C-alpha cells in the first residue's frame, strides 16, 4: 500500500479515536469504531462486549503454521485535555494521554498492510480494555486470546525518543508495580482542643515523609525503585481535627528482593507510626503488575524488523528499565514476546510526558509503528529471515517529510 495513502488512513483512525476517549472497562464507542474498521478490512473478530475486548484473526497462507499476536489498548485516562488540538477530546474529563489512540491505529494499519501479500501464518489482533490500572490483559487471556499463539508483540509511543527511533532490548523493560492503600484511624475533635483528639492527618503527614526514606536510605541506590504517595484525603473543615485519612500510592521495583524489602518496611513503618501517634494504621496491597521482560529470540526479531523500517542506526538500547508499569507483562508470562518503544517527538518539539493533559505526539510515528508491526509479523512467520524482504512497499528508511509538529 502506498505510503501517503496509508498515512492518511492512520491519521484518520487516530484522530477519530482521540475524540472519543473512554475509561477502562467502559470502552463502548471505541470498540464500535475498531469493529467497524475490522469489518471494512474484511477481518473476522470476536467481541466480549463492553468491559471485554476484541480479538480479530487475519488468516495467513498456511493456517496450520505459527500464530503471532499484536496487541493494542482501547482505554484512555481520566484527564481533562489541554492540547487545543482541533480533534481534542469530546468527552469531558477524559483523554487519550498515553498514546493508546495511536497504538490502535498502528495495529489496524499493520492489519491492512498484511493483507497484500498475506503472511505465512495467522495473525491475532488483540484490542484489550483497561490497560491503565485495570489489568485488562488478564481479561483477554482468560477469554482465550492467546490460544495457539506462539509469540506476541506490542509497543508504546513516547516523546523520550525522536520520531524515527525504535527502542528494543531483551530482558526487563518495565518495572513491577504494586498499588497500595493506607487508612489512618484517629479520633476527631475540635481544632481548639487537640489534646482531646487523635489527629489522623498529622499521623498521615509523618507517614508520607517517613515512607520516602525507604528508597533513599534502605534500598540499594544502584537498584531502581520508587515509592510514590499519589493521594492523601483527610479532614472536613478547617477547625475540625481529622478522625480518618486515606493515602494511596504505588511501589515500583525491578528486583524482587528490593520489592519485598520495601513492602516489609512499609508494614513496619505503619505499625510504628500508628503507635507513635496513637492511631490505627491499616495497609492494603493490591494485585501487582509483574515486570515486562522481553524474551531474547523475539527481541532479536523485533530489532531486525525495526532496522528494516527505520535503519539499524535508529534502533536503540538502554541499560535500565522504565519505572512505568505495563500489563503487557501478563501476556509475556504466557508466551514469549517483545515490547518496544516508538519515538514520537517531532524535530524541535518539547518532551511532553505521557499522562500529561498537554500530551500529543508526532503522527509520523503512526506509519513507523504500522510498518514495524507488519515487518515483525512477516519475520516471525517466515520460513527463514530472508523472507522478510516480502513487505508491502519498501520502507527502507524513515521519511522525515512525513513528520508533523507536536502540539
Distance of CA 288 to the CA centre of its chain: 15
Annotated ligand binding at 132? The verdict is yes
Backbone angles phi, psi at 177, to 5 degrees: -130, 125
CA 373, CA 392: separation in Å to the nearest integer?
12
Dihedral sign of CA atoms 137, 138, 139, 141 in order: positive
CA end-to-end distance (rounded Å), the chain:
28
Which long-range contacts (C-beta less than 8 Å, at least 24 apart) are formed by 296-301? 296/170, 297/336, 298/151, 298/153, 298/336, 298/337, 298/338, 298/380, 299/168, 299/169, 299/170, 299/338, 300/170, 301/151, 301/338, 301/376, 301/379, 301/380
Annotated ligand binding at 338? The verdict is no
Catalytic residue among 37, 131, 298, 363: 363
The count of other CB atoms within 10 Å of the CB of residue 70 is 27
Q: Say if residues 388 and 317 touch (Cβ distance below 8 Å).
A: no
Catalytic residue among 27, 131, 244, 289: 289
Q: Say if residues 390 and 377 touch (Cβ distance below 8 Å).
A: no
| Three-class secondary structure assignment of 187-228 | ECEECCCHHHCECHHHHHHHHHHHHHHHHHHHCCCCCCEEEE
CA dist list (Å): 226 to 102, 249, 252, 318: 28, 10, 5, 19
Annotated ligand binding at 91? The verdict is no
363 as an active site residue: the answer is: yes
Annotated ligand binding at 355? The verdict is yes
**Which residues participate in the annotated binding site?**
98, 100, 132, 156, 355
**Which residues participate in the annotated binding site for Mn(2+)?**
98, 100, 132, 156, 355
Write out the catalytic residue numbers.
289, 363
Amino acid at each position: 500500500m502506498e505510503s501517503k495513502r496509508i498515512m492518511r488512513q492512520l491519521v484518520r483512525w487516530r484522530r477519530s479515536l482521540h475524540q472519543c476517549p473512554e475509561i477502562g472497562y467502559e470502552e463502548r464507542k471505541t470498540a464500535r469504531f475498531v469493529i467497524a474498521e475490522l469489518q471494512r478490512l474484511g477481518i473476522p473478530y470476536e467481541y466480549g462486549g463492553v468491559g471485554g475486548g476484541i480479538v480479530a484473526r487475519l488468516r495467513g497462507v498456511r493456517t496450520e503454521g505459527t500464530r503471532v499476536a499484536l496487541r493494542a489498548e482501547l482505554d484512555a485516562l481520566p484527564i481533562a485535555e489541554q492540547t487545543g488540538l482541533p480533534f481534542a477530546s469530546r468527552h469531558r474529563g477524559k483523554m487519550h494521554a498515553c498514546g493508546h489512540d495511536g497504538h490502535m491505529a498502528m495495529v489496524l494499519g499493520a492489519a491492512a498492510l498484511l493483507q497484500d501479500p498475506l503472511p505465512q501464518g495467522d495473525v491475532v489482533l488483540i484490542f484489550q480494555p483497561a490497560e491503565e490500572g485495570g489489568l485488562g490483559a488478564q481479561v483477554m487471556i482468560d477469554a482465550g486470546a492467546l490460544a495457539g499463539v506462539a509469540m506476541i508483540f506490542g509497543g508504546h509511543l513516547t516523546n523520550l525518543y525522536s520520531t524515527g527511533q525504535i527502542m528494543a532490548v531483551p530482558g526487563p523493560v518495565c518495572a513491577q508495580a504494586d498499588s497500595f492503600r493506607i487508612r489512618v484511624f484517629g479520633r476527631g475533635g475540635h481544632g481548639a482542643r487537640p489534646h482531646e483528639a487523635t489527629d489522623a492527618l498529622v499521623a498521615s503527614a509523618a507517614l508520607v515523609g517517613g515512607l520516602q526514606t525507604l528508597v533513599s536510605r534502605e534500598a540499594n541506590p544502584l537498584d531502581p525503585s520508587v515509592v510514590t504517595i499519589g493521594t492523601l484525603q483527610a479532614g472536613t473543615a478547617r477547625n475540625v481535627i481529622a478522625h480518618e485519612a486515606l493515602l494511596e500510592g504505588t511501589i515500583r521495583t525491578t528486583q524482587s528482593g528490593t520489592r519485598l524489602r520495601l513492602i516489609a518496611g512499609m508494614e513496619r513503618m505503619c505499625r510504628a507510626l500508628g503507635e507513635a501517634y496513637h492511631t490505627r494504621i491499616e495497609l492494603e496491597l493490591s494485585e501487582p503488575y509483574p515486570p515486562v521482560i522481553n524474551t531474547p529470540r523475539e527481541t532479536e526479531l523485533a530489532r531486525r524488523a525495526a532496522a528494516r523500517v527505520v535503519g539499524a542506526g535508529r534502533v536503540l538500547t538502554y541499560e535500565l528499565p522504565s519505572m512505568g508499569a505495563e500489563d503487557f507483562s501478563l501476556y509475556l508470562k504466557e508466551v514469549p514476546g517483545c515490547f518496544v518503544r516508538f519515538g514520537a517527538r517531532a524535530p524541535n518539539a518539547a518532551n511532553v510526558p505521557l499522562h500529561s493533559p498537554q500530551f500529543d505526539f508526532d503522527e509520523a510515528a503512526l506509519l513507523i509503528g504500522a510498518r514495524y508491526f507488519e515487518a515483525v509479523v512477516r519475520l516471525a512467520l517466515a520460513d527463514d529471515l530472508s523472507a522478510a524482504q516480502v513487505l508491502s512497499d519498501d520502507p527502507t528508511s524513515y521519511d522525515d517529510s512525513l513528520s508533523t509538529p507536536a502540539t
